[in-house]
Amino acid sequence: MTTTPKARCGVSITGIGSFLPPSSISNAQLETLVDTNDEWIVSRTGIKNRRVVSGNDTVADLAIAAAKDALACAGIEGKQVDLVIVTTSTADTIYPMVCALVQEAIGATSAAGFDLALACTGFVYGLVTAQQFIENGRYQTVLVVSADIHSRETDWSDRNTCVLFGDGAGACVLQANTTGQSDIVASDLRVDGSRGQFLTLGTLTQNCPLVAPRTNQNPYVQMNGREVFKFAVGSVPKSIQVTLDKASVTLDDVDFVVLHQANSRIMQAMAEKMGLPEAKLIIRFENYGNTSAASIPIALNDAVKDGQIQAGQRLMLCGYGAGLAWATALVNWHVVDHRSH
Ligand SMILES: CC(C)(COP(=O)(O)OP(=O)(O)OC[C@H]1O[C@@H](n2cnc3c(N)ncnc32)[C@H](O)[C@@H]1OP(=O)(O)O)[C@@H](O)C(=O)NCCC(=O)NCCS
């Protein structure tokens, strides 16, 4: 007996949102913590301020606020969401998972959920994962939330890292459509553990006291900045080309490239390598720092709110970072913003 294959569902990106904690730390304030200065930080990174959590704020708090913003943008209620994917590498608790806390807070009473830990590449992985579940007909409405709090994972006496990061969350709603067309046109997902040692974040977990203790643990972000720089500039342009080739388009057909917002030098070097005019880059990190998994949706949301990104445009999204991991997705942007600004 032959069966007719079921037509794949189309996928629409219908909402974008973000949330940043209110406390802002300037470069001048960092001068009171480490031997650094505004000129060094701005010339190497372009970062002037970064947002950080205070008190008992959690990754889930940021994620929930961003999720609600994205739902409002899509004009839907939380109870319509049937899958919650949270991408974070800095969850306050391993369990309950952050996805469960978001699910409860938005009232997604019949949703499934899981957390993905992919550091700064998490949002693009989350988006492509959501796409699979919608295309195969399993879920209709998927919420992808990316949130990270690096201010609690940073050694504030290490000037190599503490000036770079900030905290924040971004979110995106994806929904099934009947056209069979996907707003995520093509993608490329990669991971390479052979270079994992260049960017690490450990833990302070300890063995059973009846056996030898664990040693040499470092609970903070440690980075070989030059190697990470070389990796990103070497790998991301190639991944963008792979994705363009899959979609049979060129960079000229792309309106904006939204790179993970790590810093200005790294983004400029990538743009130069690709022959991409800087005007085609979305740049939104000056006052946020590197917000890890959240940086792409935060940049997207800001650019949607101020009109730089508009419906009908074609965007290339590129995450890269610890793992090492990197991921690229070509996206047709059709979001109609239902929020009142
Ligand atoms: C981190 C980074 C900005 C450093 O820039 P760089 O051009 O490699 O640094 P330079 O070689 O110009 O300077 C290094 C020197 O500055 C010093 N330095 C490092 N951080 C400093 C700071 N915050 N303030 C002042 N000096 C600093 C170093 O100690 C070193 O001093 P030394 O030469 O006496 O040893 C750059 O390597 C980078 O962007 N890497 C990628 C980082 C990143 O984005 N990671 C996250 C990806 S998800």
The residue to mutate among 44, 89, 291, having the most atoms of ligand 1 within 8 angstroms of its beta carbon, is 44
Rounded alpha-carbon distances, angstroms, from residue 286 to 46, 251, 312: 6, 25, 27
DSSP code of 214? Answer: P
Q: Which of 9, 27, 260, 301 is catalytic?
A: 260
Q: What is the pLDDT of residue 103?
A: 98
Residues in the chain: 341
Residue 261 has pLDDT above 70, yes or no: yes
Q: Token pair of 40, please?
A: 């060094």
Q: What is the mean pLDDT of residues 91-109?
A: 97
For residues 285 and 307, what is the distance between their CA atoms, to the nearest angstrom?
Answer: 17
Reduced to 3 states (helix: H, G, I; strand: E, B; else coil), residue 143 is: strand
Q: What is the pLDDT of residue 1?
A: 60
Whether 120 is a known active-site residue: answer yes
Whether 334 is a known active-site residue: answer no
Give residue ranges with CB within 6 A of ligand 1. Answer: 36, 40-41, 44-45, 120, 159-160, 163, 223, 225-226, 228-229, 262-263, 265-266, 290, 321
b/e per residue 277-294 (b: at least 16 CB within 10 A): eeebbbbbbbebbbbbbb
Which residue's alpha carbon is at the smallest distance from atom 26 of ligand 1? 36
CA of residue 44 to ligand 1 center, whole Å: 7
Residue 198 has pLDDT above 70, yes or no: yes
For residues 137 and 110, what is the distance between their CA atoms, to the nearest angstrom?
Answer: 16
Q: What is the pLDDT of residue 8?
A: 84
Q: Which range has the worst mean pLDDT, 202-216, 249-263, 309-323?
A: 202-216
Q: What is the mean pLDDT of residues 277-283?
A: 96
Closest CA to 83 of 125, 116, 108, 111: 111
Inter-residue contact 302 to 99 (CB < 8 Å): no
Indicate the burial class of 38 (C-beta count within 10 angstroms; 0-12, 13-18, 19 or more).
middle
CA of residue 225 to ligand 1 center, whole Å: 6
DSSP code of 83? Answer: E
Q: What is the mean pLDDT of residues 299-315?
A: 97
Closest CA to 98 of 72, 65, 139: 65
- Supply angle C-alpha 190, 192, 195, rounded to 5: 145
Residue 5 has pLDDT above 90, yes or no: no
Reduced to 3 states (helix: H, G, I; strand: E, B; else coil), residue 201 is: strand
Reduced to 3 states (helix: H, G, I; strand: E, B; else coil), residue 13 is: strand
pLDDT band at 7 (very low <50, low <70, confident <90, very high): confident
Strand partners, 201: 221
Q: What is the pLDDT of residue 239?
A: 98
Whether 136 is a known active-site residue: answer no
Q: What is the pLDDT of residue 38?
A: 97
pTM: 0.96
Q: What is the mean pLDDT of residues 262-284?
A: 96
